[in-house]
Amino acid sequence: MEYKELKKKKISDLHKILAESRDKLRDLKFKDANKQLKDVRAIRKIRTTISQILTLLNKDKEKKSEKVEEKTDAK
């Protein structure tokens, strides 16, 4: 999935995609260990998708914490 597509998703959707991607990565690693995996680059693709999702989630968390800090500073 591309980064542009991920940006448009809701946070709950990102969490679902993240869980699915982690499951898929685990399966791919098992297949690779058993020499059953043909496309080894698939592991890299899944890992980049996971990192992009985590980046988006962390950015959203930072935005929320900044808003909370602004409200507490205003009081």
pLDDT in tens, 6-46: 999 999 999 999 999 999 999 999 999 999 999 999 999 99
Instruction: Kindly state the DSSP code that residue 39 receives in the 8-state scheme.
Output: -
Check whether 73 has a pLDDT greater than 90. no
Residue 72 has pLDDT above 90, yes or no: no
State the Cα–Cα distance between residues 60 and 28, nearest whole angstrom.
29
On average, the pLDDT of the chain sits at: 92
The predicted model scores a pTM of 0.86
The closest alpha carbon to 24, from 3, 45, 55, belongs to: 45
How far is 34 from 53, CA to CA, in rounded Å? 28
The pLDDT value recorded for residue 70 is 76
Nearest to 37 by CA among 46, 49, 2, 17: 46
